[in-house]
Amino acid sequence: MFKDFWEVVRRRYPGTGRRIGFLLVALVAMVFAGVVLVVGGAAGLAWTSTEKFCIGCHEMRNNVYAEYKDSIHDKNRSGVRAICPDCHVPREPVPLILRKMRATFELWGHLTGVVDTKEKFEAHRSMLAQRVWKRMKQTDSLECRNCHKADSMSSDLQSEKAQARHAKARAEGTTCIECHFGIAHKEPDGPGPKELKFD
């Protein structure tokens, strides 16, 4: 029955077979392109979120990465590490993509040498730190809390000092970064996250 139907179509509308064939090829090509874009995009996101990628630029390697080395997030008893994207790249999808897009400006900064010497980096340190503190204050230190869950902090395993500090922070609504700044990287001059007000 289909054969008869096809015969009628072929006679009345010559070239239909070619058009359908073309459409099928185009569809397969689009699906293939889509898969390549999705897989490529995911691979790109994953690759640009590795420690090796981040320290590919000497501005990071010689300054903030050198400071981070041997800090508690790099070396500790259990060997569990927090690397650059753990603190500096959001995990939620939209903020993640936005951050990656904004990172293209960092590429431009690298190419134009905005912070390519120690002196230039130090001159920009405060501004760079405040950018990070701003996001952390606005999200209640989300990147900290991705790993450090307050409800999972065992008071038996924390020192008395830590217990007292955290109890005070809970009572005052202090967010992690307001006390735990300058831990991974050298602190800049000027006001800290507690003093700064971000809208």
Partner 1 sequence: MRSGLTVLASALALCASSVVWAADVDEGAAEALMKKSNCNKCHSLDKKKEGPPFRETAGKYKGKPDAEDKLFTHLTTHPKVKVDGKEEEHTSLKTKNDDEVKNVVRWVLTR
Specify the residue for token string 């040498």.
113
Of these, 20, 61, 164, 198, which contacts partner 1 (CB under 8 A)? 164
| Nearer of residues 1 and 171 to partner 1, judged by Cβ | 171
Residue 109 exposed, middle or buried by CB count within 10 Å (0-12, 13-18, 19+): middle
Q: Which of 133, 116, 147 is nearest to 179 (CA)?
A: 133
Specify the residue for token string 């405060």.
126
| Nearer of residues 92 and 187 to partner 1, judged by Cβ | 187
**161 near partner 1, judged by CB under 8 A:** yes
- From residue 138, alpha-carbon distances to 6, 56, 132, 142 in Å are 64, 29, 10, 9
**140 near partner 1, judged by CB under 8 A:** no
| Nearer of residues 89 and 184 to partner 1, judged by Cβ | 184
| Identity of residue 112 | T
CB of 195: closest distance to partner 1 in angstroms?
Answer: 7
| Nearer of residues 20 and 72 to partner 1, judged by Cβ | 72
Of these, 37, 108, 194, 198, which contacts partner 1 (CB under 8 A)? 194
Q: Which of 188, 192, 182 is nearest to 68 (CA)?
A: 182
CB of 131: closest distance to partner 1 in angstroms?
Answer: 17
Of these, 14, 195, 197, 199, which contacts partner 1 (CB under 8 A)? 195
**165 near partner 1, judged by CB under 8 A:** yes
Alpha helices in 48-117 (DSSP H): 51-54, 58-59, 66-68, 84-88, 93-112
- Contact string (CB under 8 A) for partner 1, positions 64-83, x = contact: ------xxx-----------
Alpha helices in 113-180 (DSSP H): 118-138, 142-145, 160-172, 176-179
Residues found near partner 1 in the complex (CB under 8 A): 70-72, 161, 164-165, 168, 179, 181-183, 187, 189-192, 194-195
